Structure 1
Amino acid sequence: MVAIDTVGAMVVRRLRLQRERGRAFQPRFASDEIVSAWLGAALAISALGLIGAWSHYPLVVAPFGASAVLLFGAPASPLAQPRNIVLGNTLGALVSTLCVLALGQQPWVMGVAVGLTIGLGQGLRCLHPPAGAVALLGVLLDARPAYVLSPILSGSVLLVLIAVLFHRLRPAAVPYPHHWL
Structure 2
Amino acid sequence: MSDFWVFGYGSLMWNPGFDHQRTERALLRGAHRALCVYSWVHRGTEERPGLVFGLDNGGACRGKAYQVAGDIWPQTLDYLRAREQATMVYREHWHPIELDSGEKVEALVYMVDHGHPQYAGALPLEKQLDIVTGAVGQSGANPEYVLNTAAHLEEMGITDTALALLAAQLIGASRA
Shorter-chain TM-score tier:
under 0.3
Structure of higher CA gyration radius: 1
Between Structure 1 and Structure 2, which shows a larger proportion of helix residues? 1
TM-score normalised by the chain length of structure 2: 0.26
TM-score normalised by the chain length of structure 1: 0.26
